Amino acid sequence: MSLAVRPEREIRPPAIQIRGVEKRFGDATAVAGIDLEIREGEFFSLLGPSGCGKTTLLRMMAGFETPTSGSVLIAGADMTAVPPYERPVNMMFQSYALFPHMNVADNVAFGLKQDKVPKAEIPKRVAEALDLVQMGDFAKRKPHQMSGGQRQRVALARCLVKRPKVVLLDEPLSALDKKLREKTQFELVNIQEKVGITFVMVTHDQEEAMTMSTRIAVMNAGRILQVGRPHEIYEYPTSRMVADFIGTANFFAGVVEDSQNGQVTFRAEGVAAPLVVAGNLAVGAHAAIMVRPEKIIMGREAPAGAINSVSGVVVEIAYLGDVSIYHVRLESGLVVLVTNANLRHSAEPAVTWDDRVHLSWHPGNAVLLP
């Protein structure tokens, strides 16, 4: 999991405002009431499983779908009923949608021609846009003569050349293979920073969202579960669903035993000792504690004086190269996942199957979820 946190900018005016937007197709509700504000210059991601409504939301920003209710504002102006060809946004399609009968230069020039940009200016702007995505040498190629990565760049240039207020990206990297995808992620971010245009990206790939975005909206079943910067979403999820969807998580369900000074003592099912975590909840409330596998310290000896300590037996080890994932079964039968970095070359892992181990974590590394 890469967790490069991009610097937060100063608060800038909103580029897109979504106000109480709902979208129904017949009986099916695709988007169930969303309020959202995306600020200028952001690289904003809509993240969620397929069918969560993220693409429909994006298409309502582009103008391909009309909200059943609510409104869509772009740069402060109400665009709810404005057709796509009159909106100051441009979309990069999942299939890239390059016009097969036009060469690269004509594809990029298409939008400028529609805007009646003076003829003399078009070649210059097309060349600029193609240089920006390093496709200057490919102007005369046809789409079918290029690789997936090259097509992706042309599609981006075609969006950027119109200098839109917002660029919408629908799963922009899903058609590329893994290696190229990782390289392209950084390129896209660099280009976005260079041009300073707001990017809104739809993706189902959490790593992609984490790496590229300034902020992420996690969506499920037509609603936004949480909006935040990547590390906020990962470290401080506000719901089980978000914690579960982003990365891997251990959950301990139980009841709040004591709550004082912003600290909660928690009685978890299947865990002998009480658990301590930062938080504020009424005594007796049902809740859950979430701990990420890499936040757990594992050892053969019980740590001295440690709170949040449990013990169990290693039942499964998944060796992934950089890390190994240990499945530790507690006496109650509850299985806890622990990630350990493989820091040294060694044929044998330090801890192996059937070993009895002690697990502990710092109270600040766990999250209390209502």
Partner 1 sequence: MRRSSSLITAMAFGYAFLYAPIVLLMVYSFNASREVSVWGGFSTKWYAELLDNDAYLNAAWLSLKIAATSATGALVLGTLAALVLVRFGRFSGRLLFNGLITAPLVMPEVILGLAMLLLFVALEDLIGWPDGRGFTTIAIAHTTIGMAYATVVVRSRLAQMDDSLEEAAMDLGARPAKVFFLITLPVIAPSLVAAWLLAFTLSLDDVVVAQFVSGPGSTTLPIEVFSSVRLGVSPQVNALGTIIVVVVAVIIGLATWLASRKKR
Partner 2 sequence: MRVGGLRRDWGRRLVLAVPYLWLLVFFLAPLLIVGKISFSESRIGIPPYEPLLDWAEEGFAIIRATLQNYVLLFQDDLYVEAYVQSLTIAGISTLLCLLIGYPMALGIARAPEKSRGPLLLLVIVPFWTSFLIRVYSWMTILRDEGVLNHALMGLGLIDEPLVILNTDWAVYIGIVYSYLPFMVLPLYATLEKLDPTLLEAAADLGAKPIRAFWSVTLPLSLPGIVAGSLLVFVPAVGEYVIPNLLGGGDTQMLGKALWDVFAQTRDWPSAAALAVAMLVALVIPIALFQRIQTRMEEEGER
The site for partner 1 (CB under 8 A) is made up of 62-64, 83-87, 89-91, 93-95, 97, 99-101, 110-111, 114-115, 158, 162
State in angstroms the smallest separation of the CB of 224 from partner 2: 23
Q: Is 97 left (phi over 0), alpha (psi -120 to 50) or beta?
A: left
Instruction: Kindly tell me which of 49 and 83 has the beta carbon lying closer to partner 2.
Output: 83
List the single partner that 66 binds among partner 1, partner 2, none, CB under 5 to 8 Å by kind.
Answer: partner 2
Q: What is the DSSP string of 196-250?
A: --EEEEEES-HHHHHHH-SEEEEEETTEEEEEE-HHHHHHS-SSHHHHHHSS--E
State in angstroms the smallest separation of the CB of 60 from partner 1: 13
State in angstroms the smallest separation of the CB of 151 from partner 1: 12
Instruction: Kindly tell me which of 41 and 111 has the beta carbon lying closer to partner 1.
Output: 111
Instruction: Kindly tell me which of 86 and 322 has the beta carbon lying closer to partner 2.
Output: 86
Longest dimension (CA), the chain: 77
Per the structure block, which two tokens stand in for 250? 């251990």
| Nearest in space to 109 (alpha carbons), one of 90, 128, 96, 123 | 123
State in angstroms the smallest separation of the CB of 346 from partner 1: 50
Half-sphere exposure (CA, 13 Å, Cβ side) for 216?
28
Instruction: Kindly tell me which of 72 and 130 has the beta carbon lying closer to partner 2.
Output: 72
- The helix (run of H) or strand (run of E) holding residue 19 is strand 14-25
Instruction: Kindly tell me which of 89 and 135 has the beta carbon lying closer to partner 2.
Output: 89
State in angstroms the smallest separation of the CB of 55 from partner 2: 13
Per the structure block, which two tokens stand in for 236? 């401080």
List the single partner that 117 binds among partner 1, partner 2, none, CB under 5 to 8 Å by kind.
Answer: none
Residues in the chain: 370
List the single partner that 114 binds among partner 1, partner 2, none, CB under 5 to 8 Å by kind.
Answer: partner 1
Tell me the helices (H) and strands (E) count for the chain, helix number first: 8, 20
List the single partner that 93 binds among partner 1, partner 2, none, CB under 5 to 8 Å by kind.
Answer: partner 1
List the single partner that 65 binds among partner 2, partner 1, none, CB under 5 to 8 Å by kind.
Answer: partner 2
State in angstroms the smallest separation of the CB of 84 from partner 2: 7
List the single partner that 100 binds among partner 1, partner 2, none, CB under 5 to 8 Å by kind.
Answer: partner 1
List the single partner that 353 binds among partner 2, partner 1, none, CB under 5 to 8 Å by kind.
Answer: none
State phi, psi for 310 to the nearest 5 degrees: -135, 165
Instruction: Kindly tell me which of 108 and 359 has the beta carbon lying closer to partner 1.
Output: 108
CB 67 within 8 A of CB 82: no
Per the structure block, which two tokens stand in for 268? 């978890």
Footprint on this chain of partner 2 (rule: CB under 8 A): 63-66, 81, 83-84
Instruction: Kindly tell me which of 63 and 164 has the beta carbon lying closer to partner 2.
Output: 63
List the single partner that 81 binds among partner 2, partner 1, none, CB under 5 to 8 Å by kind.
Answer: partner 2
State in angstroms the smallest separation of the CB of 83 from partner 2: 6
Rounded Cα distance between 104 and 156, Å, is 12
Distance set, CA 210 to CA 41, 118, 264 (Å): 17, 40, 30
Instruction: Kindly tell me which of 65 and 208 has the beta carbon lying closer to partner 2.
Output: 65
Per the structure block, which two tokens stand in for 198? 């707001």
CB 212 within 8 A of CB 239: no
